[in-house]
Structure 1
Amino acid sequence: MDWQSWHDEYDVPGSHLAQRLRVVQQQIRTVLDGSPPGPLRVVGLCAGQGRDLLGVLPGHPRRKDVRARLVERDPRNAAIAGDAARAAGLTGVEVVTADAALTDHYRDMVPADLVLLCGVFGNITDEDIERTVGVCAQLCGTGGAVVWTRHRGAPDRVPAICAWFEERAFDRQWLSAPDRGFGVGVHRFRGEPRPLREGVRMFTFVGAEERGG
């Protein structure tokens, strides 16, 4: 999979990815709008070109409150994200070229107020999805939100993902309608964050789904 060209569909009006991106960005706005005053920490796993967060933050009133780390393995996509952040004057956004599946890359950024898991769950096994959901209790602070995506093609794992979050003290805040053809979910953590275990691999990509993550 060429992960740089994969992003091209975002620029096609009305495409599946363009529609999903708008929904994800709206949910990010909602989370930022409802966050308490003060500094906000954001981490993005497999952040790609950073379009989710970087499409919202430049014009958002909380932009100066946000310290974000976007982790992306593909150096071309990471470079695009870094350039976009600098062009927008987002000095609080750091783009790291690294394997986002390793917990080590988040140790000084958690517990976070917002965790972005977009384009991940459609490319990993069910076992790894559940493991990653479990690690979110180490990534999220109390009251922190996870915005995640998963395609709704067969087998539709969205109901299971919701259940896995909700079994781990995450409350469902929002879920896209099944007939949208893609799943976007927001879960908020009501538990006490667990210490981050370093050196843990959350997931391994097994290949891109036709309909995206």
Structure 2
Amino acid sequence: MADWRSWHAEYDDAASPMAQRLAAVQQQIALALDRAGPGPLRLLSLCAGQGRDVLPVLAGHPRGGDVRGRLVELDPELAAAARAAAPPSIEVVTADAGTTEAYDDAAPADLLLLCGIFGNVPDGDIERTVAAVPSLLAHGGTVIWTRHRRAPDATSRIRAWFAASGVAETAFLAAPGEGWSVGAGVLRAPSRRPNGTRRLFTFAR
């Protein structure tokens, strides 16, 4: 069983690949807020951890006050840390993000974060989750995701699955070698209503 609390501690080392990936995700969040239309924005983050990717960006971005939403995290200690850092507009739910029961009423979002998931679940679960994006994301909204590139590198297939789901890629950033990658895209297909409660993924470790 992975020790997710120790894993999150790697973010504190500015020279670590984790911190570099975090910076890339934060950059994409800021760009998504930059291009978002005026008015309220809805956020949904699955397996949100301590919220280190999105909460600092909301605190410093001119559109941060427009964002309402939900962070879903299973680990109680990580969720408590996110809750302590979150503004009143952001709800932190301690729940299993692998099932849509935890966020059906929070979708569709204008910004969907699928970070720290795809490297820990089987390929079939990744494909199922990507296929569900149009039911989680509003038309014109942005999805941001991460995945390592260790062999067998699945990022090409993941990018193709997003394209098949109607997501137009806006960025794909990758560390040298087999390190992290960060993808982002905008949903150009119509958003659709969630089709009841479903399990999208289960962590393999």
SS of the aligned residue for 1:13 comes to coil
SS of the aligned residue for 1:120 comes to coil
Superimposed CA distance per residue, residues 77-126 of structure 1 (whole angstroms, 9 cap, x where no aligned partner): 000000111xxxx1111000000111122222211101000000000000
Superimposed CA distance per residue, residues 49-68 of structure 1 (whole angstroms, 9 cap, x where no aligned partner): 11010121111111211002
Query: Does the 8 A contact of 2:148 with 2:180 survive in 1?
Result: yes
Q: Which runs of 5+ in 1 are unaligned?
A: 208-213
Q: How does 1:134-173 map to 2 (within 5 A)?
A: 134-173=131-170
Query: Does the 8 A contact of 1:103 with 1:197 survive in 2?
Result: no
In the aligned structure 1, how far is the partner of 2:196 from the partner of 2:82?
Answer: 26
Aligned Cα root-mean-square deviation (Å):
1.0
Identity of aligned residues (%): 53
Query: Does the 8 A contact of 1:20 with 1:184 survive in 2?
Result: yes
Q: How does 1:1-213 map to 2 (within 5 A)?
A: 1-85=2-86, 90-177=87-174, 179=176, 181-207=179-205
Superimposed CA distance per residue, residues 156-212 of structure 1 (whole angstroms, 9 cap, x where no aligned partner): 1111100000011111110014626211000111111111122200000002xxxxx
Aligned residues: 203
Query: Does the 8 A contact of 1:147 with 1:186 survive in 2?
Result: yes
Superimposed CA distance per residue, residues 144-164 of structure 1 (whole angstroms, 9 cap, x where no aligned partner): 111000001111111110000
In the aligned structure 2, how far is the partner of 1:92 from the partner of 1:155?
Answer: 40
1:211 alignment partner in structure 2: none
In the aligned structure 1, how far is the partner of 2:127 from the partner of 2:174?
Answer: 22
Query: Does the 8 A contact of 1:173 with 1:186 survive in 2?
Result: yes
Change (3 A) 1:178 1:3: closer
Q: Which runs of 5+ in 2 are unaligned?
A: none
Runs (4+) off by over 4 Å:
none
In the aligned structure 2, how far is the partner of 1:148 from the partner of 1:124?
Answer: 13
For 2:160, the aligned partner's letter is: A
